[in-house]
Amino acid sequence: MTAGARGPAVSGRRLTTARRRGVATLTLAGVALVVALVALGIGDYPLSPLEVVRALTGTDGFASTIVLEWRLPRVLAALVFGAALGASGAIFQSLTRNPLGSPDVIGFSTGAYTGAIIVIVSGASSSLGTAGGALAGGLATALAVYLLAYRGGVPGLRLIIVGIGVTALLHSVNSWLLLRAQSEVALTASFWGAGSLALVGWSQLVPALVLLAVLTPLVVALSRPLRQLELGDDAARSHGLRAEGSRLAVVVVGVALTAVVTASTGPIAFVALAAPQLARRLVRSAGVPLVAGAVTGAVLLLVADLVAQHIASSPVPVGLVTLVIGGVYLITLLVGESRRSA
């Protein structure tokens, strides 16, 4: 085949891949919308999808109060926070070129929990103070992991190994802080650490939405440098990219996405780990798809929260459900890896 013939063939494959990715992403978005309508209708006061739509327009009195004031903040939080975790996981898995490259594995979620515990046990346990402590803890942990992993650069595997070590250290610190705290304070911190959407209302959701709205353009702007970094530092530099500066910027944005969610809900594990890989399989992409990963994260967290609310006689924190999902995902991942290496 001549070079001229190969050109249209390559362009055709790229177009087919882009179309398949777009269709898969739109399908996932449709699933998210359907699940959201179901979630808005389920509860002690059940509503049909048509009644939910009427309630959303504010024309159905008591039903509008139930949907707009009680259920919508939680459903919207599940969608937006799940998307943020999915995008953060896609960023780190692309950066490290490793399916284990997730903010909860590398330790950033644990660091956010450490910051929140410090604030809670110090007595400044307002929602704003806890959120600030979680943000500071997540960013400080990211800085520590980055500096410890830096040796003229930060290879992905080294970042993961250092992050796992820092995570183990922070788990010990968290346990020590909780053991030294008064019983009611330790109980408050432990409940927050389970990760829950139960207490998320408009007052907690709006500031988080504002922060995530600020971060979204940064994610879009960094998507191209991220794709170049996937090819390796040498290839990225050959395209005129400052590899280390771009990597640091990507790390900061990825950590900020996770920290905002953790500050609002507590640490919700494994969504950032599983969503990008599930999205990659759904869209049949060679790389980790950023947008599809975000949409998959939204669907995962919303479904997990539905299960958390209705699986037992009393609701459980959504973080416990995502731990189960993550455990199944890790087992599946390890079994697949062992079969490929056999």
The H or E element that residue 205 is part of is: helix 202-230
pLDDT exceeds cutoff 90 at 89: yes
DSSP string, 159-199: HHHHHHHHHHHHHHHHHHHHHHS-HHHHHHHHHHHT--STT
Distance CA 106, CA 85 (A): 14
pLDDT exceeds cutoff 70 at 29: yes
Which pLDDT value is given to residue 249?
87
Say which range, 29-38, 107-116, 322-331, has the weakest mean pLDDT.
322-331
Burial string for 239-271 (b: 16+ CB within 10 Å, else e) reads eebebbebbbbbbbbbbbbbbbbbbbbbbbbbb
Find out whether 226 and 91 touch, Cβ atoms under 8 Å.
yes
Which pLDDT value is given to residue 215?
93
Which pLDDT value is given to residue 186?
84
Higher per-residue confidence, 85 vs 314: 85
Higher per-residue confidence, 154 vs 50: 50
Which pLDDT value is given to residue 216?
93
Record the pTM. Answer: 0.88
Instruction: Read off the pLDDT of each residue in 195-199 and give the average, rounded to a whole number.
Output: 88
Fill in the amino acid letter for 32: A
Question: Across all residues in the chain, what is the average pLDDT?
Answer: 84
Q: Is 46 helix (H, G, I), strand (E, B) or coil?
A: coil
Find out whether 93 and 101 touch, Cβ atoms under 8 Å.
yes
Distance CA 178, CA 128 (A): 21
Which pLDDT value is given to residue 108?
84
Q: What percent of the chain has pLDDT over 70?
A: 90
Q: What is the pLDDT of residues 242-264, one digit of tens each?
A: 777 888 888 889 988 988 898 88
pLDDT exceeds cutoff 60 at 297: yes
In this structure, what CATH number is given to the domain that contains residue 102? 1.10.3470.10
Distance CA 252, CA 85 (A): 14
Q: Categorize the per-residue pLDDT at 315 as very low, low, confident or very high, splitting at 50, 70 and 90.
A: confident
Instruction: Read off the pLDDT of each residue in 164-191 and give the average, rounded to a whole number.
Output: 88
Which pLDDT value is given to residue 16?
65
pLDDT exceeds cutoff 50 at 222: yes
Give me the number of domains the chain comprises. 1
Fill in the amino acid letter for 188: T
Instruction: Read off the pLDDT of each residue in 290-308 and give the average, rounded to a whole number.
Output: 93
CA atoms 129, 256, 193, 210: torsion sign: positive
Distance CA 162, CA 59 (A): 55
Which pLDDT value is given to residue 10?
46
Which pLDDT value is given to residue 8?
53
Give the highest mean pLDDT range of 89-93, 149-153, 197-201.
Answer: 89-93
Domain that holds residue 273: 3-341
Which pLDDT value is given to residue 14?
58
Which pLDDT value is given to residue 172?
93
Q: Categorize the per-residue pLDDT at 204 as very low, low, confident or very high, splitting at 50, 70 and 90.
A: confident
Fill in the amino acid letter for 221: A
pLDDT exceeds cutoff 70 at 5: no
